[in-house]
Amino acid sequence: MRLTQGCFSFLPDLTDDQIYKQVQYCLANGWAVNIEFTDDPHPRNTYWEMWGLPMFDLSDAAGVMMELAECRRVYGDRYIRISGFDSSHGWESVRISFLVNRPAQEPYFALERQEVAGRVVRYATRLCPSREATP
C-alpha cells in the first residue's frame, strides 16, 4: 500500500531535483534539515531514527543530497524522510516533512475491530508486511 505521510505524499514521488529545491527552500529559511529513516511507518510511530545530525549551517542543498545518497545506500530498503525544523521563537517546530525514499515492497495496514463490554467497539491499525512478500 502506498504510504501517504507528510507533504506531497499524494503526488508522484519527488525527483532528486525537486528534493534539492525543497531542501534549498528550507535552508534559505534558516530551518535545520534532518534526514530520518524507519522500517516502521505506522502513523503512531513518531520516532524515526536520525541519519547524522541536523544540518543547519549549510549554504547549499548539495550537502544534504550527499548525506541522502549515503543514507539511501545503507537504508535503501526503508522509508526515509526529510524534515525542516524551525527553531525561531514562537514556532519551535517542524515546518515541513516529506518522504524521499520508500521500500520496493510497501507494507499495508489492517483495521482491527474489537467488541468489548457494553457493545463498545474499539479499532486499531495494525502494520502488516507487504502482501507480495507474504505467500
Binding site for another protein (CB under 8 A): 55, 57-64, 66-67
In the complex with another protein, which residue's Cβ is closer, 66 or 128? Answer: 66
Tell me, rounded to whole angstroms, the distance of Cα 50 from its chain centroid: 11
Q: Give burial (CB, 10 Å; 0-12/13-18/19+) of 124.
A: exposed
In the complex with another protein, which residue's Cβ is closer, 21 or 42? Answer: 21
Nearest approach, Cβ of residue 10 and another protein (Å): 29
In the complex with another protein, which residue's Cβ is closer, 60 or 112? Answer: 60
Nearest approach, Cβ of residue 110 and another protein (Å): 41
